[in-house]
Each structure stands twice: as C-alpha cells, then as structure tokens.
Structure 1
Amino acid sequence: MDTPELRVYLDEFGKELSDVAVTLRCDGEIVGAAWSRVMDDYGHLYDGVPSLAISLLPEYRGRGLGKRLLAGLLEELRSSGFDRVTLAVQKANYAACKLYTGLGFETVGEKDEEYLMLKNLT
C-alpha cells in the first residue's frame, strides 16, 4: 500500500464527502471493506464522480458477502447525494465482473486488462 498508485485510496481518507466506507466483521474482526472517493485511480472516469474499491479476505469470498458490502456502500453513496459511481475491474476476474453487472454496473470503456464500469444510483 506504499506505492503512489495505491496511496490514492487511503491518504487523508475521511476528509471529503465522497470518502465513504463500509466494513464487514466476523467475530469482531474486519474481514472485508468497500470504500469510495473522488480520486484519480484506475476506475476514474468523470470529475466529481467517486470510484470504488473493495477487499474481502479470500476465505470469505464466494458467500455473497462482497455483494452485501457493495450494496451497503451504494446505499451510503445515494444517501450522500451521489448519482453515479465508477470502478475498474480486471477482465480476468470473472467473479467480480459478474458481481458488478449483477448490481447494475455497465461497462462503459476498457483498457488492456480492465473494464471500466459505471452505475447510476438514481
């Protein structure tokens, strides 16, 4: 997380309205998180539109927990007044692509190894 391309996700997180995060706990331990902010990251498409990231420990994947995390984050973004959110996903990550399209994200562009996706929150 100390590389510049990853620091954009965390540096001074919480200072801006678009800095929204939700976590998932199991037995008191955080096992996953989804967060967003307006940032110039891999999923950046439009100025002023937050992009999101998600992380879930491997042993908790494939149980629908990522969907719960994202649904919570999307609701928080709606409540904060955002009408769109973006992300980038590796083309080879079929499970993530399926998750995002199942939640209403649409592919609006692509790079060599990634799809760029957009979800309207209204």
Structure 2
Amino acid sequence: MSADEPAETSQIVVRRGGAQDVRFLRDMLHHAYYWKERAPDAGPGPVALYVKAWGRVGDTAVIALDRGFPVGAAWYRLFDRERPGFGFVDERTPELAIAVVPNARGRGIGSALLNALLERARAEGYPTLSLSVDRANAGAIELYERYGFQRVSEDDDSVTMLAQLTPLVQQPTI
C-alpha cells in the first residue's frame, strides 16, 4: 500500500444523516471546531449554530459507521448574514463541517464523508460549498484543496475556503 492510499475502510458505511443524529453531530462539533470553541464556562458559542434547530431547509448530513458505530460526520447548512457561520460566504452557499473521531482518523473516513457530502450538494443543486478550517491544520487544508476548495479569505486563526461544484449530469431516459 502506498502512502497515498487510505488504510482499510471495508467496514466503513456512509449513510444519510437525520434528526436521530443530532446528538452525534453536536458531539462532533468539538472535533470539528475545537479551535474556535469558547472557554467551558462562557456558555454556548457560535459553534452551536451548526446544529441548533437541525432539520431546517438545506440541512444535510452524512454519517460514517464502522461496524455499526458512528465514527465521523459531515454536514452542511445555510446561514444568514445576521447569524453567519465561521466560513460564511453568502446566504446561498451552504457551509460544510466535518469531523472524524480521533481513534478512527487516517483510514480514509474523512475522504469518504467528503465525497458523499459533495455528491449530495451537487444532487441538491448547490453551485458552491464553503468551510472554515484552522490555518495551522495543513493536512485538512491539503485534503480540501484536493477536492477543489480554494482559499477565499484568511484571518489570524482560520481560512475560509470555497468549492465550485459542477452539477451532476442527468442521463436521458429512453
């Protein structure tokens, strides 16, 4: 196996997420945005916006399971200008969040989640997806760049990236 190949993922299944997964998505926020979280005694911070009132129009999630246990999630939702996410671009561009539990990293799960979520976004007709990533997380930035995300803005601790999505081509039915 080369260094570019993911480790064994034969036990990994990616399924569509739903309301039953909100607790897991909330747990995954810690892994996705640990670098943006407030101090524990400061109350809920902006990361809560990524799952609060889940099930709005535009909310979409995929969950990775390893032998039936959730090990990662990727999701997106639309934000408005008054209450933006960290990677907000505009009100028509969903913002992606993704995380894999630490003991399951390095096995290609993040790539599987990203593939599935990008496929969903294309199927739902979104022309772009955005995200925010810790500017020191070179591995994640490299992964996102491989999937077509480009840097659109940076601040002291994060990079906002945007992917242009090509629409799925529907085959004519005969």
TM-score under structure 1 length normalisation: 0.94
Q: How large is the Cα RMSD of the aligned pairs? A: 1.2
1:105 aligns with 2:149: yes
Deviation at 1:60, TM superposition (A): 1.1
Considering fraction of residues, name the structure with more helix: 2
* Deviation beyond 6 Å, 4+ runs, structure 1: none
- Determine the C-alpha separation between the residues in 2 that align with 1:23 and 1:15: 18
Correspondence for 2:45: 4
SS in 1 for 2:152: strand
Candidates 76, 94, 106, aligned match of 1:36: 76
1:48 aligns with 2:92: yes
- Determine the C-alpha separation between the residues in 1 that align with 2:69 and 2:154: 35
Correspondence for 1:92: 136
Amino acid at match of 1:15: R
Unaligned runs of 5+ in 2: 1-25, 27-42, 167-174
- Determine the C-alpha separation between the residues in 2 that align with 1:71 and 1:13: 22
Q: Percent identity?
A: 38
Amino acid at match of 1:49: T
SS in 2 for 1:8: helix
- Determine the C-alpha separation between the residues in 1 that align with 2:159 and 2:137: 10
Unaligned runs of 5+ in 1: none
- Determine the C-alpha separation between the residues in 1 that align with 2:45 and 2:137: 23
Amino acid at match of 1:8: L
Amino acid at match of 1:3: P
Considering fraction of residues, name the structure with more strand: 1
Correspondence for 2:115: 71
| Higher CA-based Rg | 2
Amino acid at match of 2:159: Y
SS in 1 for 2:86: coil
- Determine the C-alpha separation between the residues in 2 that align with 1:23 and 1:75: 14
Deviation at 1:83, TM superposition (A): 0.7
